[in-house]
Structure 1
Amino acid sequence: MASFAMAFPSKKEDESGLSSYYNNKTTIIQEARVFNDSPISPRKCRALITRIVYLLYVGETFGPQEATTLFFGTTKLFQHKDSALRQAVYLAIKELATTAEDVIMVTSSIMKDMQPNSEVIYRPNAIRALCRIIDPSMAQGVERFFKAAIVDRNPAIASAALVSAYHLFPHAKDVVKRWVNEAQEAVNAKSSSTFFGSSSGGGYLGFGGSSSQPNGPQAIASSSYIAQYHGLGLLYLIRQQDRMAVTKMIQQLGGGKSGAGTTLKNPMALCMLIRYAAKVMEEDPNVQRQMVELLEGWLRHKSDMVNFEAARVICEMKNATPAQLTKSIAALLVIAKACFEICCHSHTGCSCSHAPKQCGHMQCRSRKPHRRPQSQRGDIRHHHTSKGRTGNEASVDRLIKQITGFMTEISDEFKVIIVDAIRSLCLKFPTKHVSMLSFLSGVLRDEGGYDFKRAVVEAMFDMIKFIGECKEQALSHLCEFIEDCEFTKLSVRILHLLGVEGPKSPQPAKYIRFIYNRVVLENATVRAAAVTSLAKFGVNSPEASLKRSITVLLNRCLDDVDDEVRDRAAFFLKVFKEKPLADTYVKEESVFSLAALEAKLVAYVKDPSSAGQALDVSSVQKISRAQAAQEAARPSSLDTIGVPAPNKAVDAPVAPSAAEKQSAYLQQLSEVPEFGSYGPVINSSLTPAQLTENETEYQVTCVKHVFKEHIVFQYNVSNTLPDTVLEQVSVIMQPQSDDNALSEDFIIPLPALTAANSPGTIYVSFTRNSPDQFALGSFQCTLKFISKELDPATGEPEEEGYEDEYQLEEVELSAGGDYIIPSYSTFGAEWDRLRSAPSATETFALSAMESLKAACDSIIEVLNMEPLGGSEVPSSTSVHTLQLSGLVTGGGGKVLVRCRMTFSRGQGVTLELGVRAEKQEVCNLVLTAVGG
């Protein structure tokens, strides 16, 4: 705001308590009497309004009576001539309007400042405030003011009107839709706007200014075309339900194949148009050719922002051709090369404005090649072979040298992006691991925060996992790092890795010194992790002398001041003496999945029938210790190839955990009295099956709940039509087989469903006629309802409607997901343990499979089991073995599958499927799932 700024309290005031008094809500309400002073003191009023807005900013709330008192107190200042005070008043009433009562009374005062002949400095404020004040029914009365403001040649007024219209749209759609011509005119602005400040010298509201400016009209030129950005957003909001209109808008504003004729001059507006084009392509593949032509034209735009956005969309297209990828990556490489040259040959390092952009190009390029088939990757690699490009193996060393030159000059945020890109290159070009590992170890010694150091450590972890030749050198670098590591979490993770990989190395004793130094020098948490790591050397190392040395070191730990360290040392000394304990607590690589265990505990606590019964954890999914450590270390997990996870919006909601989903389902089911006698839920499908397309008027998803003697299908139904109500909504399920494994009990329909109360829930219950058997099959589903139009005047549905139905996708009961969940185990030991257990073997001909890799992926998807070995298939082999482990819900126990496969070109894959389980029914389930 012009000459209005919020006064934030200083640290000294915070310490003395003055700030808490100065910005106390009660004190501010008492001081509101300054609004009634005569004459009014603009300075005092501005200071008090500043404090009011500050309290609202930090989350303080005013009650309706308090807000009303302050609201109408500030409106008394409308007639004052001080421009800065008037702007502060508008800001205050805009924020208080949502809580205060009878705010509609100030409409006439605000509309005076919206008149075309009023001061320019006040009109944007008045427009934004009026948007918060008026009732939706009054929108038609102020329509002419908004229409005039949208096409005003002052960009501040036009933008304020466009954004206000955007906020009014959900409440007054019919009125705002009539402003489409004005919004189109704002988007089609041909020249930069010139507007004039007020004669009182108030300055330009929203972009700074001062009341000390000289009197008289001040011409201020604006070439940002910001109104185009806001106008485009409003146009899309109005037309978003009409795909043809959106497509036509994109083509008209796109400017043809070259993109040069576009009327959009604002880069942000062009970026938004590109995103709209991407959405249209996703929803309607038939327009992809026209959209791609526009995107390729935007690759040559003068704005780097537009270039990068167009390249990103092309790279993320599901069926992009090699030629299209080549053009987008070529555009990225041109900018990336210029950025590298600027950063590497200047004395200022990477302080130039291209640094963030350069890192963005690296992230986009590192993400893409791994998502394409081998044929497309080859085309990209060929494009990278020219001089100055960074995509081929020969240029990796030069690239590493260039990056090293500016790593110390950029922020940690960009360092993390670069390290993730380097990790991707490590796994793409494993023969260059020496130079890349040297780079990573070098930056690991540099200054940096936790996120940066963690990214480097994770990159080294992946190199150890996927590139065997560098394991010894990488472990040595990590040992040196923990000597001076200031982050406890990283030290614990590295110690865990040393305990896993160290005993397998040719010289395990060389790591003992680094680990024991942590026992002597570090805090209690690290010391405890070091004790566990030492114990793994003692158990897993074949050298008897090393075990004796470990025993001596652990005995010294018995005198530690921390009880956790002492307890671990005593525990492992006991384990050394008894091999069964060592096998169970040290060598065993599986642990409970925390998410699955939490879900089980939540279900156990909320189940009334569990009272007096012990918790059964035999059906809880297990994962490897490495997976558990990885989950704890990477909340936003990266692919094993090292590609950075897609960025999330700052305010994007966090996805619920498995336990939270399970808890929500249990809460919903507990509220249905018909399910009270069903007992505990054995398993729920945590990922709902989508039964309709995203753009359809009715959206339906299905969640399956398996009980001991019943199966309940939960249909979540959304009605996206705001002027229609659905009554007596139900789902009719027709089984596709006649095995009579399930008998329908009842349907719990929805009495009524509108867009406002969507989604609603429908339940269909079936009885398992043979609870010991696993019912499989598919159901044809139809959504049936009575459709009634809503009366626009009363909002009530019409008396008469018509019966209608909507065909849904089929719902399938399958082995994987509904009965089998992935669970980690040591395959060799478990396979031998189940030698005398029920088993089955059968041979299948998978003639449709074009490779062993495709066969492995298909089997894993169908059975939903944990691959323990063989999921990575060498391209040169024609014989392969895949090992899978799973857990059957409902007391089915452990199940192991061994898939022996041979591939013959032209004949497909021949599969010998061997199954061992704790029950014969489980073996039959697996064979049926694969052969059915």
Structure 2
Amino acid sequence: MSSFKRDKKEEEDSAGSPFQNLDKTIVLQDARYFNQTPVNPRKCIHILTKILYLLNQGEKLTTQEATEAFFATTKLFQSKDIMLRRMVYLCIKELSTLAQDVIIVTSSLTKDMTGKEDVYRAAAIRALCSITDSTMLQAIERYMKQAIVDKNPAVSSAALEAISSDNAMVSYHALGLVAAARRNDKLSTMKLVMRSSQSPLKSPYALCLLIRLAAQLAEEDDSDTDHPYIEFIECCLRHKSEMVIYEAAHALVNLRKTARDLAPAVSVLQLFCGSSKPSLRLAGARTLARLTAKHPTAVAACAVDLENLISDSNRSVATLAVTTLLATGAESSVDRLMKQIASFVSEISDEFKIIVVRAIRKLCTKFPRKHQSLAQFLAGMLRDEGGLEYKAAIADAIIALVEENPDAKETGLAHLCEFIEDCEHTALAVRILHLLGREGPKSRQPSRYIRFIYNRVILESGPVRAAAVSAVAQFGAQRPELLPNIRVLLQRCQLDEEDEVRDRAVYYCAILDSGDPQLVNDYIINVPKPNPVLLEKALRDHLATKPDEQFNILTVPAEEIPKEKEAVVELEARKPSQVSIEELYSSQLAVVPGIERLGPLFKTNSPQELTEPETEYRIRMLKHIYARHVVLQFECLNTISDQLLEQVHVRLEAPTDYEIKSIVPCQELHFDKLGNVFLVLEFPSSFLDSLGTFGATLEFVVKDCDPTSGTADPGDGYADNYPLEEFDIECSDQIRARAGAEDFEQTWERAANVPEVSDTFVLPQNDVAEAAKAFCEHLGLPKQAVVGDAVKEIRGGGVFRGGAPFLLRAKLAPGNAGVTMKLAARSPREDVAQLIFAAVG
């Protein structure tokens, strides 16, 4: 039962931050509540938090929106609630740079900074400084001078006091001010650092800033004069404050020094890894992970401590440890460490996932024999949610694997083909199409990639279609046996609405029809492509040095030698990225014999309960969809403490056209421990026959056992069975659906020559919005697919298992007997469109 409780918790965790789906318009409308009298402080704080969250997430407010929000916020000065007033100050600071006429609150802030409430005074000073301009300086100068010598440390810190203050924050702010004032005078900065280091500061915050200044000076000066700075930093390794110790170790490992100089800092970080405080373990693991890129041998001594962190409850610490061990460990430990990453990769941010991907990319080069498992892991991450930078990092790793390891070419290209079917990033899709055009013709079965490429011409935007045309031409140029088919495809592309797509198609057709091998080689296969940045640099250099001579473009290198950038690991308090369900179950599917022969996994559907929650045996089922097969996974839980179940399997009553290929039973099912039963079924040859209802019965052998130890009593036990609820395989299980893009109309028109199926349905709902929602849920379409108000229209598309794309649009309007829906579907495979209609009907 514990496993199912954990799954429920994961579902709760996946909800993430309550602010993640905020709508700017709704939040600004909520801010109008500030104009009411009286106001609820808790509600106001919640609204202000939303505004601050949007601003810090990069949301752009227009001047009018910011001004309205600013003046609404100023109405809250009437409240005496301390927490609300502090939030008001924060919002004033954030909105002051965007709004107009912000000086209207000067009198209110001046009143607060000179009042008797110390809680308000410091925050009011900071807010006032954020709205001050040159015309207001004389008016507030007197108040600022009074604040500088105020006996309250928070107030004097806000007004910037002296370095020698006994208050930690005042000393820190003052040192920061002096250092900033002297940043353009190196000699003055050196005197400041030397004087402050000889009489150590009491404030740990100020000491951390001083360490950074000393490290910067040591970095800028490579002569022997940097020794005093290094000695000061090493001295700070023995400070009583953990903050100062870490800052010193961090500074030392980031200096351009040898591994021998790093020994004291590494020893400190090694101690941090064994600390009982999660923050120190995180700091130690994080810095060692960064150090691995430069000095892996220095980190190798910490292997034992890092191994102990793999099971750390803080997933960020555990992932840092595993990533570091991947970079420094042996080939035999790769599989074990990869499983560790897969178990908690959902709980780290996109920025850190990129670090993990880069570590795996290095592993692909370091251990080429592990390409199969590494590529599978990267493909699982590729199906995960994430932004362009994260997906690009994964694609880079797979592309590098394809280019560097010939044995991994087919595997890598297959994963990339699956990815571009749902790729939302134009730049990334173009890059992958370019790779397919370059590497696909050299593969053992080049024709298998043409379908994926040509699907982009049907369903994607102009830039992607143009890249697909170029990729298709590569196959015609390098594989003569495919040339007749390629000519047909290019001729169809000559009717495209985009000039670039048409021009490329005409251009490549003319070259291929010429039959000149040299022409084909120079203008399709081996076209010189100089780097635009390097080309510009070469032209500027040529004009500056030899403007009278002829410029030779062949002298421009195609690529610039990349400079290795240090990976900065940022572990901020962000919404954990959600791991895909396919990746969650990938390791469990690996136990099915011959699973690799089924090809790449197309989709894993959400779990379905086949028993009631309070029954003695709890079973839930998942459908893993492949191109021609479906793997049914039955997760079984025995909730009877005095029973041990053996030889657990599921007897399936499948529709006639389904063929059961293999069954993987669960040999033993102990109390409160999850076990799995797998059935591999082959889909019917006809798509329409794939829709059906299945009956299932759990069969097993029962043995009585000791509830305490779990030891079974002697004897053979007795056979028993348990009926399960029926389940269906539906159309939505076999498609990856998505909402139509902004250019859906153009996409629909481009597919005008594709086979179409259309019909009219009467839906049982009385409300159009409810009917549209029910239709989308039935086919697995996102809610963004619904557009329109009175007359709803559904625009969507996707891919059927095996790779056949489809488009669909539906118009819903209220009728006499319910909601009338006119549905049309287009797909190169007409039976796919017919299957969608069969699912609706």
Q: TM-score, normalised by structure 2?
A: 0.47
Structure with greater contact order relative to length (CA < 8 Å, sep ≥ 6): 2
Q: TM-score, normalised by structure 1?
A: 0.43
